[in-house]
Amino acid sequence: MTAVHSRPLRIGIITNGLEERRSNGAAQIANGGVGVYIYHLVKELQAIDATNQYFLIRYGRGELDIYHSGRSRDVFLRGSRFSATANLLDLPYRRLAAELQLDLIHYPNQFGGAGLPRPVKRVVTLHDITPLLFPHFHPWRRVVGYRIFLRRALRAADHVIVDASHTAEDLVARGFAARDRIGVIPLGVAARFRPGVQTAAFRSRFDLPDRFILSVGVLEPRKNHALLVSALQRLHDCGERVGLVIVGRDGWSWKEPLDANGSSGLRPYVRVLRNVSDADLIELYNRAEVFAYPSLYEGFGLPLLEAMACGTPVVAARTSSLPEVAGAAALLAAPHDGQEFADHLLAVLRGPALRERLVADGLRRAAEFSWRRTAERTLAVYERVCAGSLDAATAPRPRPAEPAAADASTGGA
């Protein structure tokens, strides 16, 4: 049941983690899952909540439609957006909380809240803790930041939202947060990810193999692209001349997987595409023979759901949150076993009955996740935190066998 308040809540959402770029003259999300999460969460909150007042807090003016909605107000922070230390210490937000009389601030990108004065409530969304689990896969500044600020932020939070039960269990096991302050709220998948999206002009704009395996994710070592190249080599050794298309934005310390594997003979079959538009990404999902997701660790794994929603069969890593998200709708393989990945990929490529079953199961599985549901459950957290109680329905399930910003100004939406 939704909490009842004597007046509307005044809720701040830090949207600095949502990066933008322009594609074909329109503003689009530039970063990965965190940006997609922030955008859709805000957009759905604007759609469902006609009572509470929202303040979207960021450096600079946003061009995405969420910043031009009459259901919220933009708050522009003046100063360098790279004042990371000031942000982590909440220096730009402390004065805003008082000036705007905020009841709650939501930090949807890992850190924040420890420096806020009471009685302002703090909600933190933690997507994963990979810098602590796999420090060698991250730049040292990120690792140090997590080690210093993560425990501090989680201890100060009135409520911690995670995308999957696996992450909740990791937090509890490492003593970062008490179980009763953690809520599991899965991510969603946008309606534009759907089957049948193919255009005649697509192939003339992309030099793609006729048949290809698709993988989507930030270009960084944790995504385990080298294993995909190893599996692709095994497929070619079996006579399956399929290609591999890797889509993502540049991350940290990524190396060309063909060079790393000494598989230069596969070069005609491998493409790496950066800064792909939303429309082209959806068409790539639709044209792919199979989607492969061998990541070593994911807090959720949003591309897996996007592929399923487009009717693309999925082979994913049997690790972290991926089995939880995929359910029975994907084939799972050990993330260090190139042969098992290759066997599963080959089974899909050569088995029409298996492919048909995975497509149907994937469509049903993806339909279970929606951004509307994510927003509804998040709104329930806001209201219950401000009412002094938490929604037990979001409790994690057991796991299966620089100086402060110089100024701030508000602008109407």
Of residues 237 and 20, more confidently modeled: 237
Query: Residues 95-124: pLDDT tens digits?
Result: 888 899 999 999 998 777 677 778 899 999
194: in domain? no
Whether the predicted pLDDT of 78 surpasses 80: no
List, as one string, the DSSP characters of 197-266.
---TTHHHHS---SSEEEEES-BSGGG-HHHHHHHHHHHHHTT---EEEEE--B-SS---HHHHHT-GGG
Q: How many CA atoms lie within 13 A of 220 on its CB side?
A: 20
Kindly state the average pLDDT of the residues 246-269. Answer: 76
Instruction: Report the C-alpha dihedral over residues 53, 124, 215, 331, rounded to 10 degrees.
Output: -110
pLDDT of the residue at 405: 37
- The pLDDT-based confidence of 162 (bands split at 50, 70, 90) is very high
Residues 172 and 288 in one domain: no
410: in domain? no
Say how many domains are in the chain: 2
pLDDT of the residue at 155: 86
Structure tokens of 300? 């959720």
3: in domain? no
User: H or E stretch including 385?
Assistant: helix 371-386
Phi, psi (deg, nearest 5) at residue 127: -90, -35
Residues 293 and 172 in one domain: no
Residues 50 and 134 in one domain: yes
99: in domain? yes
Q: Which domain holds residue 215?
A: 202-366
What CATH number did the domain enclosing 272 receive? 3.40.50.2000
Alpha helices (H) in 49-181, listed in sequence order: 84-88, 91-99, 130-133, 140-156, 165-173
Largest interatomic CA distance in the chain = 69
Query: How high does pLDDT run on average in the chain?
Result: 86
Residues 175 and 220 in one domain: no
5: in domain? no
What distance in Å separates the CA atoms of residue 407 and residue 96, rounded to the nearest whole number?
Answer: 10
Residues 318 and 338 in one domain: yes
Kindly state the average pLDDT of the residues 233-251. Answer: 91
Kindly state the average pLDDT of the residues 280-307. Answer: 95
Structure tokens of 66? 């969420």
Residue with tokens 């076993």: 337
Residues 207 and 339 in one domain: yes
Query: Residues 349-389: pLDDT tens digits?
Result: 999 999 999 999 999 999 999 999 999 999 999 999 999 75
Residues 212 and 167 in one domain: no
Q: Angle formed by the axes of helices 338-350 and 352-366, to 10°? A: 100
User: CA angle 314-315-317, nearest 5°?
Assistant: 130
Residues 77 and 180 in one domain: yes
Question: Strand, helix or coil at 352?
Answer: helix
- The pLDDT-based confidence of 238 (bands split at 50, 70, 90) is very high
Structure tokens of 377? 């459950």
360 touches 370 (CB < 8 A): no
Residues 88 and 183 in one domain: yes
Residues 212 and 291 in one domain: yes
Going by C-alpha positions, the residue among 222, 185, 201 that lies closest to residue 37 is: 185
105 touches 14 (CB < 8 A): yes
Query: Residues 394-408: pLDDT tens digits?
Result: 555 444 443 333 333
What's the per-residue H, E or C state across 258-327?
HHHHCCHHHHHHEEEECCCCHHHHHHHHHHCCEEEECCCCCCCCHHHHHHHHCCCCEEEECCCCHHHHHC
7 touches 338 (CB < 8 A): no
Question: Strand, helix or coil at 82?
Answer: coil
pLDDT of the residue at 369: 97
411: in domain? no
Q: How many CA atoms lie within 13 A of 105 on its CB side?
A: 32
291: in domain? yes
Whether the predicted pLDDT of 11 surpasses 50: yes
pTM: 0.88
195: in domain? no
Residues 45 and 145 in one domain: yes
Residues 181 and 109 in one domain: yes
Question: Going by DSSP bridges, is the β-strand pair 121-126/159-162 parallel, antiparallel, or unpaired?
Answer: parallel
